[in-house]
Amino acid sequence: MRVIEKHRNILDFTLSSLARRKGKNLSLVFVYTFVVFLIASVTFFTHSLKTEAEVILRDAPEMMVQRLVAGRHDLIPMSYMDTIRQIRGVQSVTSRLWGYYFDPTNGANYTLLVKPEEHSTSGTILVGRGVARSVRSKQTGTIPFKTYDGSYLFLRIKEVFTAESELANADLILISEADFKRLFAYPDGYATDLVLHVRNANELPTIATKITHLLPDTRPILREEIVRTYDAVFSWRGGLVIVVLLGVVLAFFILAWEKATGLSAEERREIGILKGLGWETTDVLFMKFWEGAVISLSAFFLGILCAYGHVFFTSSMLFEPALKGWSVIYPDFRLTPVISAYQISTLFFLTVLPYTVATIVPAWRAATVDPDTVMRA
Amino acid sequence: MPSRMSTRFVIFLVTCVALVWGMLLHAHMSRSSTGHALQERREVIRRFQLSDLCLFTDARYIRHPVAADLHTPFQDYPLSMEHFPSGSLMPVPPHLRRGGGE
Amino acid sequence: MIEIKDVRKVFNWGRPNEFVAIDGVNLCLHSQSVTVLKGPSGSGKTTLLTLIACMARPTSGRITLMDREITSLPERFLTEIRRRTFGFMFQQFNLIKGLTALENVMLPAYPAGEKHAVLEKRAGELLGLFNLSEKSRAKVEWLSGGEAQRVAIARALINNPSIIIADEPTAHLDTKLSREFMEILLSLARDGKTILIASHDPIVYESDMVERVVEMRDGKIVGE
């Protein structure tokens, strides 16, 4: 009880002394909160996105096979399918027909996909929300497509995909095979790439090796690689994170520097008075500890709470310009919140701890002054 | 409002901790309530045989990073400056960095 | 009772700027007495006070406080003794700006971990004793010189010390306030406190209440 009461007393003193420089300390907390907010927003956002990708890409194709010509992705002959089908362990091989289309009227890029089982009616298309938004069409409408020879192909929107699936298909246009081939003069007997299903997932690497052996101009991509790609989204090397963290680190440096050198003559004198009045060195250090803790804890909590609201309630409003870049079609990020105690504690150790230490350390020397300095002054 | 400053601060801290708990709880609950949306996204990926998320649409190598070949992320030349802003956000897929694209 | 035996205090020992502040002092101070250390500035009065009050250790010699040798105690114990036994009044009051009078008075008792309400009540009573009740919630920088002086006295008394130490307490006070201050000290002496003052102000050392005047010069006692 005595210990608690003692710390509450010291905390009282610390708070009163922080309240004296209200403007300075509040702006410190504000800047610090913003820093925590940025780090936490990036963490929450990337973590949720990664988790999301991991879950939904579990159903991605087990293996894709591309053909490369002169280092570039090229159309793959359908005849390759027979060669691959011969390999033991391959359950099925299907061809994918897809490509990109740039719509000059609104400057958007679409992904065009042919999937006969899903949609085969010529003259109509199924579109993602992002496409519908870009052509400002709620339900139906017609999009003019400029074909390879300059003529126009008018395709009617038959259906818009659900909002829930936007993260997967915002820019997708499901088009019939006939329309796709007319649009691009796509040669018969070729596909964009091939998709494989195997009997036993353990055999994937062996099958991949066999494919590259039999068809040296192809490149197999395994699902494991797909998942790994998305695990690396916005990694520490990623630009967004670097830009944010560079600012954070700089800001923190300035704060820490300010603290380290900022033990003013006034503060030193006060420490001297406290020592003279019978405070022990440890009491003074506790006082400094609380000073750092009050500021960093406040900033930490306010920061992560704001970040949560920002990422999951406002769909990362502040990141939108950065994420959008030059994209005209942009999915409405409605991420499922994924946060863990581990994440929170990592943030805690990254933000609260260094600041608190940076507050105590410079006070160390001042706290060990002899109590008689107050008399000598 | 209690007059003692430490009491006020402790109340503030307790409120914050409670809010953080609420946050974790909210995250947990919305995960279970948005399960069907997640299921739907999975279904779309499976049915359309998609390999990528639609995060960026400004360049093809960033729209389908998995399907990109070694040269596209660098605009056909490994030392060229990144042209699309989103390209600088996402790193080159690991299987390409590992000297892939063979 | 405080006993000082052959005490020497040397600053910057062994260095070119070595300076002997106290040079072989022997002194015996009785409980419940009022003593003034008199002498010009630089005569070692303040240093002797810091040694007696456990704020610094002598270079050599012994100091005994209530039959307890204190020169060899570790810092923790010294702080403890200092907090319980001594009340301090510094030359420039040394109140902490930005805090209220009440908070300043409570300050020396904070590390003891006493119940806050009890401590606050005691501090309030002390301020009441010096007619400062209305000013207890006022920040110390808004107080007049006399009020600040009385807050400093109240602060010295918060831990109910048996010995009160004052270093040049009247240095920043006018004659009227100095006399008022001596009145307060007199009442404290009547309550049975031991009082030790370092001063070269005649108002202090010529006061009727002072039982003993010790004169110092160049770190030595030169007369009584």
The domain limits of chain C are: 2-223
Query: Which of A178, A212, A231 is a domain's end point?
Result: A231
Find residues 72-111 of chain C whose CB sits inside 8 Å of chain A.
75-76, 79, 82-83, 86, 88, 90-92, 94, 96-100, 103, 106-111
Q: Residue C16 pLDDT more than 80?
A: yes
Q: Which subunits have 3 or more CB–CB pairs within 8 Å of chain C?
A: A
Are A69 and A127 members of one domain? yes
Structure tokens that stand for B61 in this block: 């190598």
> How much is the mean pLDDT over chain A?
86
Q: Residue A302 pLDDT more than 90?
A: yes
Q: How far apart are the C-alpha atoms of A164 and C129, rounded to whole Å?
A: 74
At B100, the pLDDT band (50, 70, 90 cuts) reads very low
CA distance A19 to chain C (A): 8
Q: Which subunits have 3 or more CB–CB pairs within 8 Å of chain B?
A: A
Are A74 and A22 members of one domain? no
Q: Say if the Cβ atoms of C99 and A16 lie within 8 Å.
A: yes
Which H helix or E strand runs over C181?
helix C175-190
Query: Which of A231, A266, A301 is a domain's end point?
Result: A231
Are A36 and A179 members of one domain? no
Q: Residue A1 pLDDT more than 90?
A: no
Q: Does B11 map to a domain? A: yes
Which H helix or E strand runs over A95?
strand A90-103
At A139, the pLDDT band (50, 70, 90 cuts) reads low
Question: At CB < 8 Å, which residues of chain A contact C?
Answer: 1-6, 8-10, 12-13, 16-17, 19-20, 270, 273-274, 276-281, 283, 370-372, 374-377
Closest residue in B to A344 (Cα–Cα): B20
The class of domain C2-223 in CATH terms is: alpha beta
Are A175 and A269 members of one domain? no
Q: Which of C181, C140, C144, C179 is nearest to C164 (CA)?
A: C181
Are A82 and A211 members of one domain? yes
Please state which of the ranges A211-220, A335-344, A360-369 shows the lowest mean pLDDT: A360-369
- Answer whether C83's CB lies under 8 Å from C75's CB: no
SS3 A91: strand
What are the φ and ψ backbone dihedral angles of A10, each rounded to 5 degrees? -65, -40
The residue ranges of DSSP E strands in B1-102, in sequence order, are: none
Q: Does B55 map to a domain? A: no
**Mutation target vs C (from A3, A4, A9, A24; most C CBs, 10 A cutoff):** A9
Report, as an integer, the average pLDDT of A293-304: 93
Please state which of the ranges A9-23, B67-81, C132-146 shows the lowest mean pLDDT: B67-81
pLDDT value at position A323?
A: 77
CA distance A285 to chain B (A): 17
Q: Residue B83 pLDDT more than 80?
A: no
Are A134 and A267 members of one domain? no
Q: Residue B77 pLDDT more than 70?
A: no
pLDDT value at position B73?
A: 65
Are B43 and B64 members of one domain? no
Report pTM: 0.84
At B3, the pLDDT band (50, 70, 90 cuts) reads confident
- Answer whether B54's CB lies under 8 Å from A169's CB: yes
Report, as an integer, the average pLDDT of B34-53: 87
Q: C68-78: buried (b, 16+ CB within 10 Å) or exposed (e) per residue? A: eebbebeeeeb
Closest residue in C to A277 (Cα–Cα): C108
Report, as an integer, the average pLDDT of B4-28: 93
**Mutation target vs C (from A22, A281, A374, A375; most C CBs, 10 A cutoff):** A375
Are A14 and A27 members of one domain? yes
pLDDT value at position C68?
A: 86
Domain containing A112 equals 61-231
Q: Residue C216 pLDDT more than 50?
A: yes
CA distance A358 to chain C (A): 23
Which one of A29-43, A145-159, B10-24 scores highest in mean pLDDT?
A: B10-24
Q: How far apart are the C-alpha atoms of B39 and A1, rounded to whole Å?
A: 53
Domain containing B68 equals 60-97
CA distance B56 to chain A (A): 6
What's the number of domains chain B is made of?
Answer: 2
Q: Say if the Cβ atoms of A128 and B54 lie within 8 Å.
A: yes
> How much is the mean pLDDT over chain C?
89
Whether C114 and chain A come into contact, CB under 8 Å, resolves to yes
pLDDT value at position A377?
A: 57
Taking one residue from A and the other from C, the number of pairs with CB-CB distance under 8 angstroms is 97
- Answer whether C27's CB lies under 8 Å from C37's CB: no
Find residues 50-109 of chain A whose CB sits inside 8 Å of chain B.
52-53, 55-61, 64, 66, 68, 71-73, 94, 96, 100, 108-109
Of C56, C76, C159, the CB nearest to A280: C76
Pairing of strands A193-198, A152-160: unpaired
Q: How far apart are the C-alpha atoms of A361 and A355, rounded to whole Å?
A: 10
Structure tokens that stand for C36 in this block: 């003034």
Q: Which residues of chain C does A8 touch, with a Cβ-Cβ cutoff of 8 Å?
A: 116
Are B43 and B66 members of one domain? no
Residue A236, judged by CB atoms within 10 A of its CB (0-12, 13-18, 19+), counts as exposed
CA distance B31 to chain A (A): 6
Q: Say if the Cβ atoms of B88 and A118 lie within 8 Å.
A: no
pLDDT value at position B74?
A: 59
Q: C125-177, pLDDT tens digit by residue?
A: 999 988 899 999 999 999 988 899 899 999 999 999 999 999 888 888 889 88
Please state which of the ranges A234-243, A356-365, B38-47 shows the lowest mean pLDDT: A234-243
Which residue, chain included where needed, has tokens 């005595």?
A: A2
Are B20 and B42 members of one domain? yes
Of A15, A167, A337, the CB nearest to B54: A167
Cα separations in angstroms, A147 against A61, A137, A151, A190, C144? 30, 22, 5, 19, 90
Pairwise pLDDT comparison (C224 vs A212), residue with the higher score: A212
Pairwise pLDDT comparison (A333 vs A346), residue with the higher score: A346
Q: Residue C13 pLDDT more than 90?
A: no
Whether A287 and chain B come into contact, CB under 8 Å, resolves to no
- Answer whether A323's CB lies under 8 Å from A316's CB: yes
CA distance B79 to chain A (A): 16
The rounded percent of chain A whose pLDDT value lies above 70 is: 93
At A263, the pLDDT band (50, 70, 90 cuts) reads confident
Q: How far apart are the C-alpha atoms of A170 and B48, rounded to whole Å?
A: 13
pLDDT value at position C118?
A: 92
CA distance A300 to chain C (A): 27
Report, as an integer, the average pLDDT of A36-51: 87
Are A11 and A95 members of one domain? no
Q: How far apart are the C-alpha atoms of B73 and C68, rounded to whole Å?
A: 81
Report, as an integer, the average pLDDT of C110-127: 91
The rounded percent of chain A whose pLDDT value lies above 90 is: 34
Q: Which residues of chain C does A17 touch, with a Cβ-Cβ cutoff of 8 Å?
A: 96, 98-99
Q: Residue B102 pLDDT more than 50?
A: no
Q: Which residues of chain B does A166 touch, with a Cβ-Cβ cutoff of 8 Å?
A: 54
Of A19, A72, A301, the CB nearest to B16: A301
Are A207 and A85 members of one domain? yes
Are A226 and A237 members of one domain? no
Are A169 and A288 members of one domain? no
Are A25 and A76 members of one domain? no
Q: Residue A286 pLDDT more than 70?
A: yes
At B101, the pLDDT band (50, 70, 90 cuts) reads very low
DSSP category for residue A311: I
Q: In chain A, which ranges are continuous DSSP H helix?
A: 2-20, 22-56, 79-86, 129-134, 166-169, 177-184, 204-214, 223-231, 239-261, 265-276, 281-308, 320-324, 341-367, 373-376
User: Length of chain B, please?
Assistant: 102
What's the number of domains chain A is made of?
Answer: 2
Of B9, B43, B49, the CB nearest to A11: B9
Closest residue in A to B97 (Cα–Cα): A229
pLDDT value at position A82?
A: 92
At B80, the pLDDT band (50, 70, 90 cuts) reads low
Give the ipTM of the model, two decimals please. Answer: 0.89
Q: How far apart are the C-alpha atoms of B97 and A160, rounded to whole Å?
A: 37
Q: A52-90, pLDDT tens digit by residue?
A: 888 888 889 999 999 988 878 899 999 999 999 999 889
**Mutation target vs A (from C22, C51, C55; most A CBs, 10 A cutoff):** C55
Q: Say if the Cβ atoms of A325 and B63 lie within 8 Å.
A: no
DSSP category for residue C17: T
Q: Does B89 map to a domain? A: yes
Q: Does B40 map to a domain? A: yes
Whether C177 and chain A come into contact, CB under 8 Å, resolves to no
The rounded percent of chain C whose pLDDT value lies above 70 is: 100
Q: Residue B99 pLDDT more than 60?
A: no
Which H helix or E strand runs over C86?
strand C86-89
